[in-house]
Structure 1
Amino acid sequence: MKKEDCFYLGKIVSKYSFKGELLAKLDTDEPDLYDNLDAVFLDLRGNLVPFFIETSQLHKSDLLRIKFEDVDNEADADALIKTELYLPLEMLPKLEGDKFYFHEVIGFKIKDLNFGEVGIIKGINDSTAQALFEVDRNGIEILIPMNDEFITKVDRANHTIEVNTPEGLIDLYLED
């Protein structure tokens, strides 16, 4: 399994017991969707390795208490702290309407209600306070905030996202 075929679920943050149980902080708005997993992939030195789950249960809102098969003591558990958890992309819940996962809109066209067709989404920059669409318009990069107020329609069938950006935002990138 390759990382690009998976999504980041969370990270193991601490031991829970001396019997090898661990606590993982989940990166999700709906942690209860991941309460009864059979297995997850752990990123061990850049390789995704499957780990089978004996038991798991939610522990405080966004923490998952996990007992892996063959992790039976503190030393085994210590070795897994700070390890990232991944699941295959097909396990992501389907989103509908104007909600979307970042990876699924790469390659979509962006159309602005005032400007017209802007370009193709080449990536998402989520390292800033507000995530940004990275849009390629004939070799010029245009950054559009992923603001719910700007996104008017997500058309999955036609691979298009319609936005209504403030007047002049797109033109800023096109002026010499």
Structure 2
Amino acid sequence: MNKDNCYQLGHIAKVHGLHGEVLLVLDVDYPEDYEGLGHVFVENGNRLVPFILEHMVPQPNSRFLAKFEEFNHIDQVKPMVGSALYLPSTALPKLKDDQYYFHELVDFMVVDEVLGELGQVKVIYDMETQDLIGMEYKGKEVLIPIKDGIIQKVDKAEKKVFCHLPEGLIDIYLED
């Protein structure tokens, strides 16, 4: 499976017990949508390797206790801790026209209501505290928080992200 055709679902947080179970952390808005999941792709170096799930039991806080088929000992799953989990992009639920997935914003033009067109989205940073748009502006990387009040509108047809950037945000990145 090619990573470009997938989205990151979450990661393997830690092993659980001695019999090959792991704790999965899903980075999704509705973890209950994934309760019946039968397989995932686990990142191994630059490759995505498919794994069949024997079971996946919901836990609090978007976590799942899971067991992969044919993995019955802690030593088999220990090397997988920290690995990212992926699913094909075709598995993403369809959204309404005014909704979007963060990964869709890559290559969109960022437009500030005062400064105008700034540059294209190069990367989305999925941080624990907040998600950020990474774009290049005048040769510098500028990070824009993805939150209401800053992101005003996303026009998927025009491939534009309309923003109201906090005063001075761009200047911080332009200083030497």
Note whether the superposition's TM-score is higher than 0.5. yes
**Counterpart amino acid of residue 149 in structure 1:** G
Tell me the CA shift for residue 10 of structure 1: 2.4
- Scaled by the length of structure 1, the TM-score of the pair is 0.77
Q: Which has the larger radius of gyration?
A: 1
Q: Unaligned stretches of 5+ in structure 1? A: none
> Is the aligned partner of 1:155 residue 2:155?
yes
1:20-39 aligned at under 5 Å gives the runs 20-39=20-39
Q: Answer with 116-125 or 163-172: which moved more.
A: 163-172
Tell me the CA shift for residue 163 of structure 1: 1.4
Tell me the CA shift for residue 108 of structure 1: 0.9
Partner in structure 2 of residue 8 of structure 1: 8
Partner in structure 1 of residue 109 of structure 2: 109
**Counterpart amino acid of residue 76 in structure 1:** Q
Taking every aligned residue pair, what percent have the same amino acid on both sides?
A: 39
Q: Answer with 166-175 or 99-108: which moved more.
A: 166-175
Partner in structure 2 of residue 67 of structure 1: 67
Partner in structure 2 of residue 54 of structure 1: 54
Query: How many angstroms apart in 2 are the aligned matches of 1:143 and 1:16?
Result: 36
1:102-141 aligned at under 5 Å gives the runs 102-126=102-126, 130-137=130-137, 139=139, 141=141
Structure 1 residues 167 and 98, CA, compared in 2 at 3 Å: closer, same or farther?
farther
- Scaled by the length of structure 2, the TM-score of the pair is 0.77
Tell me the CA shift for residue 38 of structure 1: 1.5
SS at 2:103 equivalent = helix
Tell me if structure 2 keeps the 8 A contact 1:97–1:154: no
Tell me if structure 2 keeps the 8 A contact 1:36–1:57: no
Query: How many angstroms apart in 2 are the aligned matches of 1:57 and 1:37?
Result: 10
Partner in structure 2 of residue 84 of structure 1: 84
Q: Unaligned stretches of 5+ in structure 2? A: none
Tell me the CA shift for residue 80 of structure 1: 3.5
